[in-house]
Structure 1
Amino acid sequence: MLFSRFFRATLLAALLTSPALLQAQSATPSTAAPDASRITLVIHGGAGTITRALMTPEKEKAYQDALNQALDAGYAVLKKGGTALDAVEASVRFMEDSPLFNAGKGAVFTHDGRNEMDAAIMDGRNLAAGSVAGVTVVRNPIRAARAVMEKSEHVLLTGSGAEQFAREKGLAIVPPSYFYTEARYQQLQQALAEERKPGSPDQLNAPTSPSEKSKVKLKGGKPQSTALPESQIFTEGKKYGTVGAVALDQFGNLAAATSTGGMTNKRYGRVGDAPIIGCGTYADNQSCAVSCTGWGEYFIRATVARDVAARVELLHQPVAEAAQATMDKVGKMGGDGGLIALDRQGNIALPFNSAGMYRAYVKANGERQVQIYK
């Protein structure tokens, strides 16, 4: 009898702590009646040393216009009764197609002169998630991330394997030259020049002349000139150019998506926080949806996106308080950047500890803001 009681108690404890049951408890699709008054969309286009002193009026307008259009792309989905998942994908895809942002078309160059991109997406209804890392020929990495989530049993695919999967699923594949932009090439050349200066932390490992691999060729086989004026380069000092979106749909469900080209001059197949669920991207109907931008190594170590969600869910902190507390932790560690977060009541948080962050949001009541500086 005693053994039987012990067995039943042990079995019950195992069931209550099983991953499947925990996921079922946490992932709760909304059963509420549709309510269009709740729809909300928040986006970001990167954080860093973004100041008025480093921004021309033309560049500022270009970014404001692009952020507004990215908002429109996702909000149109929500207004038509679409899901939060479709909305965040639409906004991120727009930014991936813009050369202004470090994602997709505007991705930065690695040390070897390649564009290696990462992306992730997560559905707050059921904790379903998908991501890709180190892809070089997928036109829209966020589409590949969603395909991983919906059409495979995996969460994260990398490199050539992720590209093969994207091909098999019929996603748009482009030549690596599609991702070339003059501004990003100039950023790489500037980084290589800094790297070669005596006293630079990387000077011992830096080549004595620009690596042949980093010399992007134009049509006709001529090396690209480095004579582009600084005023035409879409870079604002030290900037972490990730893009992302979080949304709340009329059904009360949350979603998050993030996409990035990583860091200029990165080496060795480096992957940041964006495609790592719980670090740069997270969504759960029980708490909030989060997309991050910043120094990825710190955001990974602090599991930033999940940390915000855990504070909301377990400590019952308001989303703005939770997001700020997590960014404070990142700052104390020595990291910088920012994040966007959104809960099921439509409350928004946009904290950052850098000089600026491209950010915008729109609500069903018509409230709309596009901001760049502090």
Structure 2
Amino acid sequence: MSSPKRPLLICAGLTAMVAALSGSQLAGAAERSAPPAPAAAPQQQARESVIKDVVLAVHGGAGSLPRGSLTPEQEKAYRDGLTRAVQAGYALVKDGKPVLDAVEKAVNVLEDDPNFNAGKGAVFNTDAEHELDAAIMNGKDLRSGAVAGVHNTKNPISLARAVMEKSPHVLMAGRGADQFALRNGFAYTTQDYFWTQKRWDQLLAAKGRAGARSPAHTEVGGTVGAVAVDRSRDVATATSTGGLTNKQVGRIGDSPIVGAGTYANNRTVAISCTGTGEVFIRGTAAHDISALIEYARRPVEKAAAEVITKKITALGATGAAIALTPRGDLATPHSTKGVINAYVTRDGKIVTRIYDDETPAT
């Protein structure tokens, strides 16, 4: 296939043992958190606790992003993208719209942002094509919809919602999903829309092609997801991805698999995962977090960390998740050095976290 040539803390006060942190406003309401100062307390006390009163959170992939690895312009682009997504979803919740609308809209924003591996910035498979996966789930009634391996839909998360609402099915894939999209009024999007120079360079590097550009940083801008809760304590989740660079044609990861990479239940939690999809499928990661909350009565931060940092790693993989309860408690566990994420609290405060030191180990 020829290719065109165009070419992530909340703290009201600090003890004397921790240096004061500074924040900078981004896109009006956004704040970035500064790295924590070294603490003299035991390691377990330095672990991140659950974040309270969260309305909506998004992630942009698990991975290592050390401070200093981005130019100021790149950092601003990532923070601005996360901020736009959170603002878009929060505005809908604040206006009393269905929580499904909020997570869909937040993910739409990230799908349209070429910095992330979903929609416009999706990676290439081994045949230099884009195959897109997405899932959405309503915690109130466990309705869900998903698509896998779609080629010609600009916003796969919206197509996943259409599968949920306009068909008797949960998951549709490949040509059938593409045809379903056309029958239901989705515009046909040609493959060149998804093309970006960064992803093309990553494909050539994965194939060991001579002349391939070396990425300035690695594992940046991955799978995207959103979780949200409304005033009625209804929760929902949405996840969208382009998968893995140089993946086998037809490969499907955990993102569109309900209970693996995506899950929402009003009794427990809304979860969106990111990482090595095959292992998240084998470990039924998202549902396992919910089950630990429901049956073992674990708090969300302990349940999520148990699965993400212990079970999944024991199976040989790394990754992360964002998990939000109907009470507004957010956990962001990760076995990678960091996870790109952002969240907004009930008072409208937005925090973006993209560097490793902004999302401490859980």
TM-score by length of 2: 0.81
Of the three residues 175, 179, 187, the one matched with 1:172 is 187
AA at the equivalent of 2:321: L
Q: Residues 54 and 237 of structure 1 are in contact (CA less than 8 Å); yes or no, is this contact kept in structure 2?
A: no
Task: Give me the whole-angstrom Cα distance separating, in 1, the residues matched to 2:188 and 2:236.
Answer: 26
Task: Give me the whole-angstrom Cα distance separating, in 2, the residues matched to 1:52 and 1:110.
Answer: 30
Q: Which residue of 1 aligns with 2:260?
A: 279
Distance 1:326 1:227, change over 3 A: closer
Q: Which residue of 2 aligns with 1:101?
A: 116
**1:202-224 CA distance string (max 9 Å, x none):** xxxxxxx79xxxxxxxxxxxxxx
**How far is 1:331 from its partner?**
1.4
Q: Which residue of 1 aligns with 2:25?
A: none
Q: Residues 205 and 214 of structure 2 are in contact (CA less than 8 Å); yes or no, is this contact kept in structure 1?
A: no
Q: Which residue of 1 aligns with 2:151?
A: 136
Distance 1:128 1:334, change over 3 A: same
**How far is 1:53 from its partner?**
4.6
The answer to whether 1:75 aligns with 2:56 is no
The answer to whether 1:340 aligns with 2:322 is yes
Q: Which protein is richer in helix relative to its size?
A: 1
TM-score by length of 1: 0.78
Task: Give me the whole-angstrom Cα distance separating, in 2, the residues matched to 1:88 and 1:270.
Answer: 25
Task: Give me the whole-angstrom Cα distance separating, in 2, the residues matched to 1:82 and 1:312.
Answer: 27
SS across alignment from 1:54: coil
Q: Residues 38 and 252 of structure 1 are in contact (CA less than 8 Å); yes or no, is this contact kept in structure 2?
A: no
**How far is 1:54 from its partner?**
3.1
Structure 1: give runs of 5+ residues left out of the alignment: 1-36, 194-208, 211-225
SS across alignment from 1:52: coil
Task: Give me the whole-angstrom Cα distance separating, in 2, the residues matched to 1:306 and 1:326.
Answer: 10
SS across alignment from 2:342: strand
AA at the equivalent of 1:312: I
**How far is 1:252 from its partner?**
1.3
Q: Residues 204 and 212 of structure 2 are in contact (CA less than 8 Å); yes or no, is this contact kept in structure 1?
A: no
AA at the equivalent of 2:116: F
More off after superposition, 313-322 vs 124-133: 313-322
Q: Residues 302 and 330 of structure 1 are in contact (CA less than 8 Å); yes or no, is this contact kept in structure 2?
A: yes
Of the three residues 261, 276, 299, the one matched with 1:295 is 276
Greater CA radius of gyration, 1 or 2? 1
Q: Which residue of 1 aligns with 2:336?
A: 354
Task: Give me the whole-angstrom Cα distance separating, in 2, the residues matched to 1:293 and 1:153.
Answer: 27
Q: Which residue of 1 aligns with 2:236?
A: 255
Identity rate, percent: 49
Q: Residues 142 and 259 of structure 1 are in contact (CA less than 8 Å); yes or no, is this contact kept in structure 2?
A: yes
Query: How many equivalent residue pairs?
Result: 304
Of the three residues 344, 351, 359, the one matched with 1:369 is 351
**1:172-193 CA distance string (max 9 Å, x none):** 2211111111111011001000
Q: Residues 78 and 249 of structure 1 are in contact (CA less than 8 Å); yes or no, is this contact kept in structure 2?
A: yes
Structure 2: give runs of 5+ residues left out of the alignment: 1-51, 357-362
**How far is 1:373 from its partner?**
2.2
Q: Residues 54 and 329 of structure 2 are in contact (CA less than 8 Å); yes or no, is this contact kept in structure 1?
A: no
Q: Which residue of 1 aligns with 2:8?
A: none
Q: Which residue of 2 aligns with 1:321?
A: 302
Task: Give me the whole-angstrom Cα distance separating, in 2, the residues matched to 1:181 and 1:239.
Answer: 14
Q: Residues 61 and 275 of structure 2 are in contact (CA less than 8 Å); yes or no, is this contact kept in structure 1?
A: yes
SS across alignment from 1:273: coil
Of the three residues 87, 110, 122, the one matched with 2:102 is 87
Task: Tell me how large the CA RMSD over aligned residues is.
Answer: 1.7
Task: Give me the whole-angstrom Cα distance separating, in 2, the residues matched to 1:170 and 1:280.
Answer: 27
Q: Residues 38 and 250 of structure 1 are in contact (CA less than 8 Å); yes or no, is this contact kept in structure 2?
A: no
